[in-house]
Amino acid sequence: MNGLLVLDKPAGMTSHDVVNRVRRATGEKSIGHLGTLDPMATGVLPLLLGKWTRLAQFFSSAEKGYTGAIRFGFATDTYDAEGEAAGEPKPLTQTLDELRVLARGFHGEIEQTPPAFSAKKINGVPAHKLARQGKEVPVKPAKIHVHRFELTSLEGDTARFVAEVSAGGYIRSLAHDLGALAGCGAHLTELRRTKAGVFTLEQTMTLERMDELAATGELEAALPHPRTILPEMPSVTADMATAGRLRNGMTVNLPEFSNAPLVKVFEGQRHIIAIGKRVAGTLIQPTVVIG
């Protein structure tokens, strides 16, 4: 099965668990998720199936949106509620307005240190595997862009928030760093991804619905139409001879192509065969051949 499946990930499952569930339901072995979600987190998890996994590079810079909750009073080693307390509890002394002022300091481009317990690769090994083995985890700060980090309410020691961050940003680190600024520590207790690039919660389906559609053979028809993916790229239809040349990696002329740098090339209405790069004028070189 080739396509894009946008799921509403439930809590308690890793992103890898979700991939395995989809493999069992569809029989498709080649599946990749676009942006890991922690087991505690829920929400938008886009998956590329079959030959469409070759398109993953074009989704890598997608921004993410979240809602969730942060508990103040102590930090944890994982930066979330699944970890062990790191230090003695301290009372939260700031008001909501004072915490909002601190949160504004994270807006814009910042350097963020990922949690040691994360999927960040260190010499090819996920950081969380090293951390669980008690080994030193030399995670390095990375530049990210925080488009929004707004606290919406505060009840007791728990604040609710809305956040929008660039690819590679960790909400757990925002919670941890905000707690450090507040002087009492903090950790993430709830996280729901509401947006991943152009994909929103309204476009998701549950795992249960996915199972039902897969069992009746209706899942592929329920996936987003191929021409709606990567909307920043124009869609161009190639005739049979041109499609054959593209499949062989050859440069072709596509007169109907616009001046956009990249284009989706289709054979018929639904069969995407390649992503092409404009070389000059109407001359297109395939950068990714899907088949």
The catalytic site residues sit at: 38
Pairwise CA distance, residues 186 & 156, whole Å: 13
Q: Name the DSSP class of 174.
A: H
Residue type, 151: L
Q: Distance between terminal CA atoms of the chain?
A: 13
* Helix 96-104 vs helix 171-182: crossing angle, to nearest 10: 120
Is 251 exposed, middle or buried, given 0-12, 13-18 or 19+ CB atoms closer than 10 A?
Answer: middle
Give the helix/strand (H/E) hosting 65.
strand 64-72
Contacts of 24 (CB under 8 A, 6+ apart): none
Cα 248 to Cα 14: distance, rounded to the nearest angstrom: 38
Q: Kindly report the backbone phi and psi dihedral angles of residue 174, in degrees, each rounded to the nearest multiple of 5, phi listed first.
A: -60, -45
Q: Are 179 and 187 in contact (CB under 8 A)?
A: yes
